[in-house]
Amino acid sequence: MAFQRTKILILCKTYPSPSARNVETSCVAGMTTDGRLLRLYPVPFRLLNDQSQFKKWQWTEEERQKLIQQQVQGDLFADPEAVALRTLRKLPFDFHYRFRAFTEPAGHENRLKIVDWEAGALYWNLRQRHGDDWQPAFRDKFGTVLPASDLRFLLGTIHRFPDQWLIVSVIYPPKQPQASLDLG
């Protein structure tokens, strides 16, 4: 297997799924400097030590090499902290976006499941802070705040269900600081 060094901007990190072969995995995808989309899979993200983990919007040259190293070595040299990792909490709900594309006729609605890590993490954080009253804050973020931004969906499928499209990432690019003009 040949490896190629490529600079990747991370756009997607899905909520972890249990895996018979890999304990658990997350789909990670990004964009190269020349605009090509790449999928890095499987990534045992929660099993990576802190200095190997990465975030959305982070260029991942060094992180990509750490992922490759982790996958090549397997569990033989697993980080002791990773072994003590808490059991993956399954989300008790599926989250979906309902939308109509501009090109579709009125009355047509799409409904796609969100598997973005951010949705799962937000659920658990809000559940911890607000208990059973987590829904208003969740709906505000995913139903009002994100749609009001330059929201885009990164779609993907999974091997077992190749015809079922999922929102693997909600993308709302960070705002660039605007240059100020000093007139004097």
d(CA 79, CA 52): 11
Does a structural domain hold residue 89? no
> For the segment 71-82, what is each residue's pLDDT rounded down to a tens digit?
445 444 455 444
Cross-strand partners of 104: none
Give the per-residue SS3 of 133-179.
HCHHHHHHHHHHHHHHCCCEEEEEEECCEEEEEEEEEEECCCCCCCC
> For the segment 123-170, what is each residue's pLDDT rounded down to a tens digit?
999 999 999 999 999 999 999 999 888 888 988 887 778 899 999 889
What residue numbers bound the domain in which 47 lies?
8-83
Does a structural domain hold residue 15? yes
Does a structural domain hold residue 75? yes
- Residue 179 is classified by DSSP as P
Q: What are phi and psi of 7, to 5 degrees?
A: -85, 130
Report the candidate in 21, 63, 72 with the shortest Cα–Cα distance to residue 45: 63
The pTM assigned to this predicted structure is 0.69
Overall number of domains in the chain? 2
Beta carbons of 13 and 169 less than 8 angstroms apart: yes
From 83, 110, 137, the end of a domain falls on: 83
Asked if the peptide bond before residue 147 counts as cis, ω within 30 degrees of 0, the response is no
From 40, 60, 83, the end of a domain falls on: 83
Beta carbons of 89 and 124 less than 8 angstroms apart: yes
Does a structural domain hold residue 176? no
103 and 164 both lie in a single domain = yes
The pLDDT of residue 154: 87
Cross-strand partners of 153: 170
> For the segment 97-120, what is each residue's pLDDT rounded down to a tens digit?
998 888 888 889 999 999 998 999
Does a structural domain hold residue 1? no
The pLDDT of residue 174: 65
Name 157's Cβ contacts closer than 8 Å, sequence gap at least 6: 163, 164, 165, 166
Q: Which two tokens stand for residue 129?
A: 């802070």
